[in-house]
């Protein structure tokens, strides 16, 4: 082993081995091979230590925190065994969470898109909507109302006028009512962002009502009043529908959250101090890996791609 070896390459190797060791397919020989690899040199040992520290942080991620442990068995298990079982469960959720990234509503929703998929829907009244990747929604039309329930993800709406039946998007206990308009609704967890490119919408949340004309945007959290509206360029609203992702001095954390919609599995930023770093650029929706490559080439970042797991780390 020489100093010419890139330590990050060794970390990548260590992470790949840890993924396999926690996959449920590892044998005793695999564990011994990992132990021997760690002892090959001080560089290997240091890389393994850093990889294990990163692995230990996975149970603290949002996906892992959503894990609900099964009821304890009548016969109490040793604390160490319980910790190991919990750790294994958290790791399994993080690494193999592609099927767990959607809410339970995906089981009974009318329409669901996969990561990276975009879909156009033409509704019975002539309205149209476009679903972004990893989006879950239902259409609920009645004789006196046209309703859309957005459980997760992002959708762009182009609404046909019908004064007798209001068009309302329900998201995170808030309502977005269209008044002959084109607008985008983006729900991430309990936060909803609304951007208007044509017409006017009326947003109701937390007991407060706010009217948004074209060229304005706001956001609200579940059960809370909308934030103060801000101006947006109508040309930049829902650029994903045109196949483009445009970022103008956006925080890296937000950029990665957007790219996560188009990449199967988990996209994980290992160092939150990088989340606020400002990023500008234009990327193709259909090639999110090219966007990651561009970030790796222009920013102090290193991208490690594993099955169902993409790690974004500081470049050393």
212 shares a domain with 122:
yes
Is residue 1 in a domain? no
115 shares a domain with 223:
yes
Cα distances (Å, whole numbers) of residue 43 to 5, 8, 9, 39, 49: 9, 10, 11, 9, 10
Among residues 203, 234, 265, which one ends one of the domains? 234
Report the domain count for the chain. 3
Among residues 173, 204, 234, which one ends one of the domains? 234
Among residues 31, 63, 95, which one ends one of the domains? 95
Q: Which pLDDT score is estimated for 287?
A: 94
272 shares a domain with 211:
no
262 shares a domain with 164:
no
Q: Which pLDDT score is estimated for 69?
A: 40
Q: Which pLDDT score is estimated for 81?
A: 44
Q: Which pLDDT score is estimated for 103?
A: 57
196 shares a domain with 132:
yes
82 shares a domain with 11:
yes
CA distance 287 to 116: 9
- Indicate the pTM of the whole model: 0.73
**Residue 309, domain CATH:** 3.55.50.30
109 shares a domain with 85:
no
144 shares a domain with 35:
no
**What's the alpha-carbon Rg for the chain, to the nearest Å?**
23
Is residue 148 in a domain? yes
Average pLDDT for runs of 10 along the chain of length 316? 64 79 77 88 85 66 43 43 46 47 70 94 96 95 95 96 94 93 94 96 96 96 95 93 93 94 88 92 93 94 85 86
116 shares a domain with 78:
no
- Give me the domain span that covers residue 248: 243-314
224 shares a domain with 273:
no
Q: Which pLDDT score is estimated for 52?
A: 79
Q: List residues bridging with 261 in a β-sheet.
A: none
């Amino acid at each position: 082993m020489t100093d010419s070896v890139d330590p990050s390459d060794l970390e990548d190797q260590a992470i790949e081995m840890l993924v396999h060791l926690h996959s449920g397919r590892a044998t005793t020989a695999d564990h011994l091979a990992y132990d021997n690899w760690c002892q090959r040199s001080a560089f290997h040992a240091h890389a393994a230590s850093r990889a294990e520290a990163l692995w230990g942080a996975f149970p603290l991620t949002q996906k892992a925190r959503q894990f609900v442990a099964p009821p304890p068995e009548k016969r109490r298990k040793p604390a160490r065994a319980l910790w190991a079982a919990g750790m294994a469960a958290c790791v399994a959720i993080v690494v193999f969470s592609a099927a767990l990234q959607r809410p339970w509503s995906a089981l009974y929703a009318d329409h669901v898109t996969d990561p990276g998929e975009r879909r156009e829907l033409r509704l019975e009244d002539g309205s149209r909507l476009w679903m972004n990747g990893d989006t879950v929604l239902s259409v609920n039309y009645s004789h006196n109302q046209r309703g859309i329930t957005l459980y997760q993800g992002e959708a762009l709406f182009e609404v046909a006028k019908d004064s007798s039946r209001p068009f309302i998007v329900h998201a995170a206990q808030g309502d977005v009512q269209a008044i002959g308009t084109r607008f985008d609704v983006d729900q991430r967890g309990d936060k909803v962002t609304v951007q208007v490119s044509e017409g006017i919408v009326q947003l109701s949340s937390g007991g407060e009502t706010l009217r948004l004309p074209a060229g304005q945007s706001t956001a609200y959290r579940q059960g809370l009043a909308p934030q103060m509206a801000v101006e947006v360029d109508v040309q930049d609203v829902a650029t994903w529908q045109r196949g483009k992702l445009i970022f103008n001095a956006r925080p890296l954390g937000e950029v990665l959250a957007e790219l996560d919609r188009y990449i199967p599995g988990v996209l994980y930023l290992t160092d939150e101090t990088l989340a606020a770093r400002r990023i500008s650029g234009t990327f193709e929706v259909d090639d999110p890996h090219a966007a990651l490559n561009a970030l790796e080439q222009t920013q102090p970042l290193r991208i490690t791609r594993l099955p169902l797991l993409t790690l974004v780390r500081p470049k050393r």
